[in-house]
Copies of this chain bind each other. A is one copy, B any other.
Amino acid sequence: MATTKDINSRAASTNQTGFGTNSSYSGGRFYNKDGTPNLQVDGVSFLQKLSLYKTILKMSGSKFLAIILLFYFAINLFFTGIYLSLGPGNLGGTEDPGALNEFWEAFFFSVQTISTVGYGHIYPRGLATNLFAGIESLTGLLAFAFATAIIYGRFAQPRAFIRFSQNALIAPFQKGTAIMFRLAPYKHNHLTDAEVKVTLAMKLPEEGGVTNKFYSLSLEISKVNSLIQNWTIVHPINEQSPFHNLTLEDLINANAELLIVLKAFDDSFSNTVIARASYTANEFVMGAKFKLMYHRSENKQTTILDMSKLDEFEKVELPVQMYNQR
């Protein structure tokens, strides 16, 4: 098996990943498959740790709607309780008193107040009821202002809309081999000045213990002016590569993990967007190459990008001198 020393004689390790090097204190993979860091923050109170903005923006649409409904119901219940506690006779104007009982009358008065619809067939009487109705309508307006804010936040939030292939392939490349994966924008999004950085993380024996080692990988092309179609990211496994002479088994033993960050400018959002991904050694495929994922339209006037082929590859022979020599 290749030793840390072997690897370091070829490629200098640097740590710009944001993770510490103390391997015995860090657990599991560094990044989750979706590119979020596999790290938990502790030692701060829940409220301090909570970022309302991020929590709400990352929530699913249905969960978001459920929370709004729940909140709407709860706040109406709260004001219903107040109106009921003020006693009967504080809500006036109901022309047919038999229709609803006291609770529902107070509840719907609350609903009509907080939504500012205020039909007026039920209306507040007396100082206290009027006061609370005034507070409730202000509450409604502010809550609604807040809802507008978060709906806009969710709506306009810049996102990368990039998909990464499921696997990273070790494929023939020029006269040797290379490790490659691919990505593509899937929403007709047009990215400008896209730049990708790939880091190889490994847990390697060093000075008696095990240390997290990080290697920046040199790429065939790491920057494109425009990212429209699929893009295959290629790291040639040459003599300067930390992958050189390592078998898939070595990589699995060392918990090898590729950490990927893509940064680009999206002109719809007029903003920089970031996509992340991670491939552990278990997601590497030895001896395979990606299938072409675009073709010409029938009228020959357009190119068609077929996202369903993003993950597709076929097995191929690797050149003999690599991976088989030991």
Identify the A interface with B (CB < 8 A). Answer: 15-20, 22, 24-28, 36-44, 48-54, 57-58, 68-69, 72, 76, 92-93, 95-96, 99-100, 104, 108, 111-113, 115-121, 123-127, 130, 133-134, 137-138, 140-142, 144-153, 155-158, 161, 185-193, 197, 199, 221, 223-231, 261, 263, 265, 267-274, 292, 294-297, 299-310
A25 to chain B: closest CB distance in Å?
5
Is the beta-carbon distance between B270 and A224 smaller than 8 angstroms?
no
A89 to chain B: closest CB distance in Å?
10
Is the beta-carbon distance between A115 and B115 smaller than 8 angstroms?
no
Nearest opposing residue in chain B for A199, CB measure? B225
User: Given contacts A18-B228, A225-B17, is CB(A158)–CB(B270) below 8 Å?
Assistant: yes
Please name the 6 residue pairs, one residue from A and one from B, whose CB atoms are nearest each other, closest first: A43-B308, A18-B226, A149-B152, A120-B120, A18-B228, A119-B120
- Give A153 to B268 CA distance when docked, in angstroms: 11
Partner of A296, one of B16, B25, B50, B104: B25
User: Given contacts A37-B190, A226-B261, is CB(A149)–CB(B146) below 8 Å?
Assistant: no
Nearest opposing residue in chain B for A19, CB measure? B229
- Give A210 to B17 CA distance when docked, in angstroms: 42
Nearest opposing residue in chain B for A65, CB measure? B142
* A36 neighbours in B (Cβ, 8 Å): 190
User: Given contacts A127-B100, A268-B51, A305-B42, is CB(A300)–CB(B226) below 8 Å?
Assistant: no
